[in-house]
Structure 1
Amino acid sequence: MPVESSELIQQLRQASRQMVRELGFMQATLAATDYPPSAVHALLEIGQGHAVTGGDLVTLLGLEKSSVSRLVRKLVEAGEISEQADARDARSKRLQLSAQGRRTLAGIERFAQAQVAAALGHLSADQQRRASTGIADYARALRAARLGEVPEAPEGWSIARGYRPGVIGRIAEMHARYYADLAGFGQPFESLVARDMAELMGRLHNPRNEVWVALRGERIVGSIAIDGEGEGDEAILRCFILDAAARGQGLGRRLLVEALAFCDQWGFAATLLWTFKGLDAARALYEEQGFVLVQEQVGEQWGAAVTEQCFVRARRAERDTIR
């Protein structure tokens, strides 16, 4: 989407500078700790499970590998975190908070909660909602620009995360209509999708599980979900579908990028998906994002005989090693 005006850019720059100052990032330490902002953010990401390796911190914090290595070493020496050998990858070390680190994180959380709550007290309920949505959208856009990710959804369309009323039925409907025309799947397939989605939606309290939807206004026109409770610390990509009216807008790629960024943040051992032979456009999109076909078999679990395919995307560190 083109930028509306240079005035808008100036307004956002001014607001960004003011936020940096008001949040305390110009100080040598942050959040009532003895640590600089980079260390505070590292503790937050490790404690919340978003960063389990130094490589995760490189991506999340936007720092050089050498800077992250020094940062991790200082936090280890300070007794805030520990490094554990990764049983699946001898070249990688998993990061976790120590008891001291958990106490430090609790103090950071208390400070930040109070700081944000005090600021929100100066806004109306509507202003609070708009501030939350606007800041989140802008932060995602900044990250996407830094990492060279696919831009946000085009004007009039949007991507939303989390459960919303009607999502189970709408996802089942989109699957049923698409695969009835494509492969002749009928009632057993629609019932299977609805049952599986209802079961997964009941587990969204686990932060390792998530669902995203593409929206046209308030209407759900696409979906993707991650089941983070697979065997062997694997994530399962599920319910990836677009309504006919939503195709050709780049929304499928946007949904997939969102879901895989979530998988990278959690550091799953791998992400896998099951589909079937003949979906060439979808396969090209999967392979573009690092998936590799590892298994084929004839099956009828979806209501008709098809050649089922399993694609796997390795953990980010392993993909980087291969490249």
Structure 2
Amino acid sequence: MESGVVLAEVDKLTESTIVIDREINVMPAVIPPPAQNSDVDRFRSFNRFYTHMIGTLPEGLLNSEYSLTEARVLYELAMHQGILAREIADELSLDAGYLSRILRKFENAALIRKTVSESDARQMELKLTSKGKALFDELNERSNQQAEQVLEKLTPGKRSSLLHSMSGIVNAMAPERSLSPYVLRQNRPGDMGWVISRHAELYAKEHGWDEHFEALVANLAADFITKYDPRLERCWIAERDGERLGCVFLVRHRDEAATARLRMLLVEPSARGLGLGKALVQECVSFARTAGYKRVILWTVNLLSAAQHIYQQAGFKLVQEQATHRFGADMIDQTWELEL
């Protein structure tokens, strides 16, 4: 079951801290509801638009004599020094008979050759000939040119939005095992703008929070940049294939040198369910210990009860609660602490 966490702190009247995490699966996943007819219509409409745009409807792909499926098989052959027919069939979910006809066409055109497998003499590996490699290079270059023509027509903002949406589709639909692993890195120029915008957009959409929340996050991000102490503070950006998936901050307490604060933890909807939120929290705790802190504190609100389970797993304890109203909503602040 997906769970979410909203972490917020407002110190007196002048300073505030916010931490968000809505990602970790702590219970078995809830069975998705049936797709509505409107959803099916939108899905099919997108498929029609996209297949027309990239030119998969004509009989020959990219002005060649080969179909989309044949070109995809050619791609698999080019990506391997040697591959079995059944491995191609499994990868592309192709009927064995259909694949056999494609491979026969390739063989008759002298695009592939068969060699005895080094690992199993009973199996025949398929490899591209020099003619097959030349054909692949030509189709691959045409495909690159087609992509360039599409992207160059877009403004930088639209291009970024398109590529982000494409990554979201892959993350939502691809089997877990086929996705690239995410990495945790320190912040770079441009990351703070993303942190602010994604916090504001997600919480306006999912919780109806107003612009005061965006202002709060902007102030916290600015404070981190202007007052940054690399010995005691850190920001981590979670990234996969160049796409930002999440973030978290650990900063020192303004009054207590031995205390750190966990702030601005965020996980993109497309990355929820990967254990990313838990990994980011663990990274903070590990760094806090290394930096010599004795305690980590955070503030959360009661919007999502599964947050309590997340903090309990990390060793945090709930020490204080207080009703409040902010960002256009009623909520209960919760103070959590972890003794290191």
TM-score, length of structure 1 as denominator length = 0.47
Greater radius of gyration (CA): 2
Q: Which has the higher contact order (CA 8 A, sep 6+)?
A: 2
TM-score, length of structure 2 as denominator length = 0.45
